[in-house]
């Protein structure tokens, strides 16, 4: 595996890949703890699957942007290392499955040849920064948010403040008040505004889905554009320091806001201002993230055979861009899966008749840009030949789903096969719903909401039911969620559980009732509110009757054998490493990184690595005394109590104040040098203390 080391031009990337290869080797030799290794590989986009011995690799595509060359590269990678399938995700990533762990460094190196990364696609990091796929061509947008999403991605990639947080952190940039990037369900969400001729953003903070969904709060109605990166940096520093680290179920940023209050969190963020790497950050708006429109060219001979389908497709999958004479085309991709062979066949069509760029959407679809009006019939015909011209984008028939029990450790019951069945029911029995973008269905394999069921008009998540001594696959039914506008959203309400095989009947019951009884122009959520939760509970209650079960009800969708609720250990947020030796080793490693950053004049990074070394060293000593801590802030307090106040270590005035000097100084060479020398001295003292304890034990 030597070849990739010399082919990668970016030394930071090469170092990352070589480190992953080294850690895999140490892990295979039994010299690296499994939990520690798991944490490292997750931050490199390598995620354990339900199936033993293979990995899912998540490919990080900032705001879903993808060139045709990158698509070809990923298709080749999938063929060589995976199964020839590309899975589009709700966070605008692409995932490939069944990858050998030992081949992941080589895979990553080949991806990087076309500027594609897997770094920080999983784990306790800043996840992929998402944005409205229409950004740049949206007729409603005040300005293109793509440069801001890209700048955010690049600023925080490998940034020391967000490498080992208590949990993952998600951000989005919507292109307009329509909020198609769903700012209300993110840790930080941004909606573009213009005030007094100046660009800025409405900022939403503290949202999230998962098992306990929370709507985001408004932090700022208008934040000037140059303050976006500094705000994010301050928020991440506070989340890193005060976020929960023991109970992963309470470790998301939304729980920190619930614990401290929004006002206190924003006050703490403001206290970080002096220490920030950037007090003001000007995004380079000269970069045009829209690829050049295609040159006009003759349309090849073709026959448009299905004119009815074409007319439906025009109404549901095509829209007029803000650029005169050009159209955007949505490609509906069922369950987000597209084969590598189909992807390759798509590329020439895109290169000839669209801009050389695709966007992955939050609904697991694709968007083509800059298609000329005269080319639309031809493009439709070619897409139809590839099975990529199904009408109904963003409609009731366009169901979002996660992979569920196909590959995920946390999946409880199947979500992909039932998605196909429900879409078939809609197309065959409710064809008018192909044009309805008000009623949306979303499905997850478990309660964690990777399929976004928590904000669906009709949502399902995988579950199980017990009938006598037997267990059968089930679906939790939710109703009434969705996007409103301008940072407002609705969380779907849980109603009841039904056997999974009755999912289609749930859909029929709800749709039949809505279509028969709604008022003129009434949306589904308005209809739901008018009737109330209990009305729908009573409507669906007959489907919960377990006295009429058949043998088929005990077999999940897409399966032949009886249902076995085997839930593995999830890796969505990494793990905690609590061994003293490992923590002290990590402190030494962080100080090495700090020294490198200092030499490269990256003073803010050097200081934060020093801070992390202080924390890791103190935690190691506290664990030696069996003192439990659940935040970095509590580590500072407990170390004073157990080591400084007892005279075992000396700090003036105390340990907490010494470490939190990071808030009192602007990043500079002099402060970084002094701060790192203190961190190094502390680590040396800690190692001596530990050796003495071992000798005297």
- Taking Cα atoms as reference points, which of 213, 216, 172, 210 lies closest to residue 191? 172
- The arithmetic mean of pLDDT across residues 20-38, rounded, is 86
Take residue 407 and report the two structure tokens written for it.
Answer: 């590959």
Residues 283-306 have pLDDT tens digits of 998 888 888 999 999 999 999 999
Q: Is the per-residue pLDDT at 320 higher than 50?
A: yes
- The arithmetic mean of pLDDT across residues 263-275, rounded, is 97
Handedness of CA 468, 470, 472, 477 (dihedral sign): positive
Enumerate domains of the chain plus CATH numbers. 3-112 (3.90.480.20), 138-275 (3.30.413.10), 307-385 (3.30.70.3340), 400-554 (3.30.413.10), 580-696 (1.20.120.330)
The per-residue pLDDT for 145 is 98
User: What pLDDT band is residue 576 in, cutting at 50, 70 and 90?
Assistant: very low
Handedness of CA 34, 39, 44, 48 (dihedral sign): positive
Element (H, E) at 88: strand 85-88
Query: Crossing angle for the helix pair 307-317 and 376-385, nearest 10 degrees?
Result: 100
The per-residue pLDDT for 4 is 53
- Is the CB of residue 435 less than 8 Å from the CB of residue 395? yes
Parallel/antiparallel/unpaired status of strands 94-99 and 188-195: unpaired
Residues 508-523 have pLDDT tens digits of 999 999 999 999 999 9
Per-chain mean pLDDT for the chain: 93
- The arithmetic mean of pLDDT across residues 72-87, rounded, is 98
- The arithmetic mean of pLDDT across residues 171-195, rounded, is 98
Classify residue 667 by burial, with Cβ atoms within 10 Å: 0-12, 13-18, 19+: buried
User: What pLDDT band is residue 562 in, cutting at 50, 70 and 90?
Assistant: confident
Q: How far is C-alpha 466 from the geometric centre of its chain's CA atoms?
A: 33
Give the count of alpha carbons within 13 A of 168, CB side only.
Answer: 24
Q: For residue 7, is the peptide bond before it cis, meaning its omega torsion is within 30 degrees of 0?
A: no
Residues 585-631 have pLDDT tens digits of 889 989 999 999 999 999 999 999 999 999 999 999 999 999 989 99
Give the C-alpha separation, 377 to 144, whole Å.
29
Can you give the three-state secondary structure of 244-310, one letter per residue?
Answer: CCCCHHHCCHHHHHHHHCHHHHHHHHHHCHHHCCCCCCCCCCCCCCCCCCCCCCCCCCCCCCCHHHH
- Taking Cα atoms as reference points, which of 260, 270, 263, 203 lies closest to residue 235? 270
DSSP letters spanning 8-59:
---HHHHHHHHHHHHHHHHHHTT-S-HHHHHHHHHTTTEEE-SSTT-EEEEE
| Eight-state DSSP code of residue 640 | I
- Name the pTM for this structure: 0.93
Neighbouring residues of 56: CB distance < 8 A, sequence distance ≥ 6: 46, 47, 48, 49, 95, 96, 97, 99, 407
Give the C-alpha separation, 401 to 29, whole Å.
38
Helix, strand, coil fractions of the chain, as percent rounded to 5: 45, 15, 35
């Amino acid at each position: 595996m030597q070849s990739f080391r010399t082919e990668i031009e970016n030394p930071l990337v090469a170092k990352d890949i070589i480190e992953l290869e080294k850690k895999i080797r140490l892990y295979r030799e039994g010299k690296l703890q499994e939990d520690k290794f798991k944490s490292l590989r997750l931050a490199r986009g390598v995620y354990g699957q339900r199936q033993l011995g293979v990995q899912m690799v998540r490919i990080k595509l900032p705001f879903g942007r993808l060139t045709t060359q990158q698509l070809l590269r990923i298709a080749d990678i999938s063929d060589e290392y995976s199964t020839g399938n590309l899975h589009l995700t709700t966070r605008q990533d692409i995932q490939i499955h069944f990858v050998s762990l030992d081949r992941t460094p080589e895979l990553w190196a080949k991806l990087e040849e076309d500027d594609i990364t897997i770094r920080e696609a999983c784990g306790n990091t800043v996840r992929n920064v998402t944005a409205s796929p229409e950004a740049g061509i949206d007729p409603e947008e005040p300005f293109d948010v793509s440069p801001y999403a890209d700048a955010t991605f690049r600023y925080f990639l490998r940034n020391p403040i967000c490498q080992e947080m208590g949990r993952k952190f998600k951000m989005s940039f919507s292109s307009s008040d329509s909020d198609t990037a769903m700012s209300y369900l993110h840790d930080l969400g941004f909606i573009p505004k213009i005030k007094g001729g100046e660009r800025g953003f409405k900022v939403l903070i503290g949202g999230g889905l998962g098992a306990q969904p929370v709507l985001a709060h408004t932090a700022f109605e208008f934040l000037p554009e140059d303050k976006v990166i500094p705000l994010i940096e301050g928020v991440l520093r506070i989340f890193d320091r005060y976020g929960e680290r023991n109970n992963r179920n309470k470790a998301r940023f939304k729980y920190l806001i619930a614990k401290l209050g929004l006002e206190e969190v924003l006050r703490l963020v403001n206290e970080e201002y002096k220490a920030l790497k950037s007090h003001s950050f000007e995004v380079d708006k000269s970069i045009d993230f829209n690829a050049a429109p295609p040159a006009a060219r003759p349309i090849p001979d073709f026959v448009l055979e299905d004119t009815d389908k074409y007319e439906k497709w025009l109404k549901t999958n095509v829209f007029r861009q803000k650029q005169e004479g050009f159209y955007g085309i949505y490609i509906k991709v069922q369950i987000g899966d597209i084969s590598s062979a189909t992807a390759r066949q798509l590329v020439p069509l895109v290169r000839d008749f669209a801009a050389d760029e695709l966007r992955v959407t939050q609904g697991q679809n694709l968007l083509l840009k800059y298609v000329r009006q005269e080319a639309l019939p031809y493009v439709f015909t070619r897409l139809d030949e590839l099975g990529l011209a199904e009408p109904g984008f963003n409609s009731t028939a366009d169901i979002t789903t996660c992979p569920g029990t196909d590959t995920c450790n946390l999946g409880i019951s199947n979500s992909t096969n039932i998605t196909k069945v429900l879409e078939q029911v809609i197309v065959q029995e409710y064809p008018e719903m192909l044009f309805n973008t008000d009623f949306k269905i979303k499905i997850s394999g478990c309660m964690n909401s990777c399929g976004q069921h928590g904000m669906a008009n009709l949502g399902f998540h995988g579950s199980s039911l017990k009938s006598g001594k037997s267990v059968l696959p089930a679906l939790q039914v939710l109703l009434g969620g969705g996007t409103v506008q301008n940072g407002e959203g609705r969380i779907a309400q849980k109603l009841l559980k039904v056997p999974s095989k009755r999912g289609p009947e749930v859909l029929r019951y709800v749709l039949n009732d809505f279509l028969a009884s709604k008022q003129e122009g009434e949306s589904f959520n308005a209809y739901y509110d008018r009737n109330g939760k209990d009305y729908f509970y009573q409507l669906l209650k007959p489907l919960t009757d377990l006295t009429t079960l058949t043998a088929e009800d005990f077999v999940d969708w897409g399966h032949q054998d009886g249902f076995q609720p085997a839930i593995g250990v999830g890796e969505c947020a990494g793990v905690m490493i609590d061994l003293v030796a490992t923590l002290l080793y990590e402190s030494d490693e962080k100080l090495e990184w700090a020294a490198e950053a200092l030499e490269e004049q990256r003073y803010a990074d050097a200081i934060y690595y020093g801070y992390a070394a202080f924390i890791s060293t103190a935690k190691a000593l506290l664990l030696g005394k069996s003192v439990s801590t659940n935040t970095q802030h509590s580590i500072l307090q407990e170390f004073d109590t157990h080591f400084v106040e007892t005279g075992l270590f000396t700090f003036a005035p105390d340990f907490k104040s010494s470490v939190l000097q990071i808030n009192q100084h602007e990043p500079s060479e002099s402060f970084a040098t002094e701060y790192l020398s203190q961190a190094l001295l502390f680590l040396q003292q800690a190692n001596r203390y530990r050796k003495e304890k071992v000798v005297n034990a």
